Amino acid sequence: MKGTLGRSEIEVSAIGMGCWAIGGEFGPGTQPWGWGKVDDSQSVAAIHAALDLGVTFFDTADVYGCGHSERILGQALKGRREQVVIATKFGHQFDEASKQVLETNSSSEYIRAACDASLKRLQADYIDLYQLHFGLDDLGEVPRVRDTLEALVAEGKIRAYGWSTDDPARAAIFALGEHCVAIQHQQNIFEDNAALLELCEGQNLSSINRGPLGMGILTGKFSSGAALETSDIRHASPEWMAYFKDGKPNPEWLSKLESIRDILCMGGRTLAQGALAWLLARSSNTLPIPGFRTVKQVQENAGVLEQGPLTRPQMQDITGVLRAG
């Protein structure tokens, strides 16, 4: 299963791999923004497994592990750059040595410096998709940011750009740019952003779906009392995180998942594969990016490429069950 990245001619696999978790530990102060400790050799093996299974789209950010995720991705893709599409993000300043996240910055000078730093860490001559990674409260700044990104396209440093935002108004302003091809936003069975999907479909943008597995909830591996590492962002449970409460899986989400388990697992799918198949059926513009840390996780997630999207009757059954609940 393949498609193009929005209105560009960049060909991508139907799902990608999200590289947040392979960045390791980082964050502002003592607050964890990572997913706990990582094994870099395991991360590289997982990336290679994804390539072998037909995944060609990898999404990361310079701030993941304060540069570490980009470095590992660059290491794993060395010699195979032309086979893949690399997406990364900018906007969070950080100290790579201490793994501390600092302030946000969207100045033209910083964007250019961040782009050069990402290229170096990725061992790449260009970035396929370069994405703004924070909300940018002053919308008057958006045209300048967009113009800076257009200049980077003209210089050959990036091929296209997008914005990681859940706000349709912000996305619509960015979409006015000629080389804006994607909006990354929260999207899964239980968090359906219909307005952003409508915008992406209308503007022919890729809807890059972060949180497609609800940060692990939709894999079915968590019980109501499951405990997490203290260095895992899910243990800290930020306010925006609906999937976990007080460091434990949200029982409301677990109950919802149980109610549609049988539908998602039809045809021998795992729960994770069913959740990804729902996204593929939700819109022809969706591009889910499930996270990973192991070869086994990659193999399971990539299985949806052979299985394809859920059927229309299955989608209707899920809608009916959730509404009734």
46-82 pLDDT, tens digit per residue, is 999 999 999 999 999 999 999 999 999 999 999 999 9
At residue 138, the pLDDT reads 85
At residue 229, the pLDDT reads 78
Please provide the average confidence, as pLDDT, over all residues in the chain: 94
Is 135 within 8 Å of 184 (Cβ atoms)?
no
**Best CATH choice for the domain 2-324 from the list 3.40.50.10480, 3.20.20.100, 3.40.630.30, 1.10.8.590:** 3.20.20.100
For residues 240 and 32, which has the higher predicted lDDT (pLDDT)? 32
Is residue 224 over pLDDT 70?
no
At residue 222, the pLDDT reads 79
pLDDT mean over 14-33: 94
**How far is Cα of residue 58 from the mean position of the Cα atoms in its chain?**
9
155-189 pLDDT, tens digit per residue, is 999 999 999 999 999 999 999 999 999 999 999 99
Q: Which residues of 92-122 are buried (b: 16+ CB within 10 A; e: fewer)?
A: bbbeeeebebeebebeeeebbebbeebbebb
Confidence of residue 226 (pLDDT cuts 50, 70, 90): low
Find, among 164, 171, 83, the residue nearest to 131 by Cα.
Answer: 164
Q: Which residues of 173-205 are buried (b: 16+ CB within 10 A; e: fewer)?
A: bbbebebbbbbbbbbbbbbbbeebbebbeebeb
Residue positions annotated with a catalytic role: 64
At residue 101, the pLDDT reads 97
What is the length of the chain?
325
104-124 pLDDT, tens digit per residue, is 999 999 999 999 999 999 999
Residue type, 104: T
246-302 pLDDT, tens digit per residue, is 778 888 889 999 999 999 999 999 999 999 999 999 999 999 999 999 999 999 999
Give residue limits of the domains in the chain.
2-324
Residue type, 160: A
Q: Lowest-pLDDT range, 132-136, 142-146, 240-244, 252-256? A: 240-244
